[in-house]
Structure 1
């Protein structure tokens, strides 16, 4: 594999493309999106309702001149919220990487300052050693790829607690940063996929085998607090991810091939009794 890996969006999913072979694999998060999430429907409906109630006068003003615009403003409430949260999350991820690389961090945007303080506390309390940051996990065996946040070496005592003086036993952990309101179980699927990839691909396109991973963890960090939590990435969890990989293949490819063209069909349109009487 040589040359920089590029990504493309197709059918609402992210694909990673090998520039040399043109092989493209779906992204880990796109595969995990196959997991049913019925609660999102209720969440989106609540966001729309809250917007309508909390911005009643604004919605009414818009509706007077543009009823369709007012409808769009209310029904797209969840998309606006998601876009804002995605921007903050992306900026926070960038900040965390620069801090781990010991770059000089000057003043940051007020929205990011709580995250900077929390991450600084995490670095002091855990004192991890960065091994790989924001590189690509690539699996030819199972046909997927994805950019992971961090591969960290963390020293733990017999109870699994960090020893910031590095007196404990070193563990190589696949780690994900989460800046959402909560941590959700599907982070285990994400980390299991990264940890069990065949290789790590670097920005210049070179790669090396994925090292043996001792475990995984998620750093859940919000403006108010942070928590470093272990995450299961065993065979059972990875098996669920591989099932979703097959569902993704069904959704994107196989399902489009299972129904063929009609081999027999009507040659005239049925005229109903109502239509005859109307004539």
Structure 2
């Protein structure tokens, strides 16, 4: 019996919901998001500083009548950048899926910003000659309780003609980062696949993982380490997710005793 899957957002987290059983599990990217990212603080600060310098006359004009508005404009620089990149990435992923499925995608009325992505992906298809097995299905783990939508499962031949089943992710950001290996392992080691109609099959054997990194300037098809050790690190993050969202809320109990509602005034405070 087909079982369709939907997604919901809770805060900044995505969850997948089995529409028949109502079982709800966190998404792969949400689990990978448990990794600390201290560099984001300095990156956001740099974006804010650059925005202020690049728009100095406008910021000064706004600040004269609305200081809070000027502050909001500056501190929102990284959100505006992220939103723009997310929109480009979403449009590119939509286009890549159509192209990998064999659909002819015209560039006649395509926004200029998308044309390089179309050209690079078309070149990838011509050079690599991948055979599509699945695209945009949900990988679901019954054992470890997570799910995620992967971009493609492809059959790719090497120079000798030997073929391999490769789980692939399209990336359109500035760089590719090591956590993509965690993401690919989570998909490839899942228990089953669920298509948009709710049909389920066991996860096919996956030989390898790769990321296709496409930017406005170039494309690169990069191998990604895919093995049990990498997957074990993802599973640890899955446990950290449970700690963060559930267990951590249960570890501090009600006070055994409390008091002292009246604060005293110290000598230091009186002399201050």
Between stretches 122-131 and 58-67, larger displacement belongs to 58-67
TM-score using structure 2 length: 0.95
Which residue is equivalent to 1:254?
Answer: 247
Residues 88-130 of structure 1, C-alpha deviations (whole Å, 9 max, x = no match) = 0010000011011111212222111000000010000000011
Which residue is equivalent to 2:144?
Answer: 142
Give the unaligned 5+ runs of structure 1. Answer: 159-167
State the superposition RMSD in angstroms.
1.6
SS in 2 for 1:111: helix
Offset at 1:276? 10
Residues 27-83 of structure 1, C-alpha deviations (whole Å, 9 max, x = no match) = 000001110111111111000000000100111111112111110110010000000
TM-score using structure 1 length: 0.93
8 Å Cα contact 1:2/1:19 also seen in 2: no
Between stretches 40-49 and 59-68, larger displacement belongs to 59-68
- In the aligned structure 2, how far is the partner of 1:276 from the partner of 1:155? 77
Which residue is equivalent to 1:39?
Answer: 39
Which residue is equivalent to 1:270?
Answer: 263
Offset at 1:2? 3.5
8 Å Cα contact 1:134/1:150 also seen in 2: yes
Q: 1:119 aligns with which of 115, 118, 121?
A: 121
- In the aligned structure 2, how far is the partner of 1:249 from the partner of 1:237? 19
Give the unaligned 5+ runs of structure 2. Answer: none
8 Å Cα contact 2:16/2:26 also seen in 1: yes
Offset at 1:206? 1.6
SS in 1 for 2:198: coil
The answer on 1:194 being equivalent to 2:196 is: no
Offset at 1:274? 5.2
- Alignment size in residue pairs: 269
Aligned pairs for 1:39-118 within 5 A: 39-107=39-107, 108-118=110-120
